[in-house]
Amino acid sequence: KQWYQRRVAITAGDPIFSVGGDLAFNWAYSNNGCRIVLTGGHLSGAGVNDDNTHGLGNDFIINPLTNHVHDKAWSHDISNIQDCPHPACSYVRLQGTDHGASSNLKSGPVYGNYAIYVSFDSEKFPLPGDKLSLTIEL
């Protein structure tokens, strides 16, 4: 994140590059869930139904502990960072069109592609422009 962030213009609302902190996975709150968020953004409490935690892989009206979807109209892939608590906010700004049919989910431009790489051993990772092979030397 840090290397790439210094070399691109940060778009306000980007769910990765406009927020600091560590990665948090499977953030569950009330009847909502988000697969990947950053701890520097707004993290709704476990019993708070404010639809206001945004990141990658979002679902509203779901049992986030069992992944049982109650209403597919509220699923959305990439949600921009925004202070948009339910019920005061009338729409949630998203990247792209990969979302359910709810009229409260608003399509928007795609800022880029996101990938997360995790390693216990690697101390470096190939940078953009590096030629990759089938193996990475550790």
Radius of gyration of the chain (CA): 16
User: For 21-65, how does the pLDDT look when each residue is reduced to its tens digit (9 = 90+)?
Assistant: 999 999 999 999 999 999 999 999 999 999 999 999 999 999 988
CA dihedral over 124, 128, 131, 136, signed as positive or negative: positive
Q: How confident is the model at residue 6 (pLDDT cuts 50, 70, 90)?
A: very low
d(CA 136, CA 33): 34
pLDDT for position 3: 43
Q: How confident is the model at residue 1 (pLDDT cuts 50, 70, 90)?
A: very low
Q: What is the mean pLDDT of residues 86-113?
A: 91
Q: What is the mean pLDDT of residues 107-113?
A: 86
Name 7's Cβ contacts closer than 8 Å, sequence gap at least 6.
none
Q: Check residues 136 and 66 and name the one with the higher pLDDT.
A: 66
Average pLDDT in the chain = 85
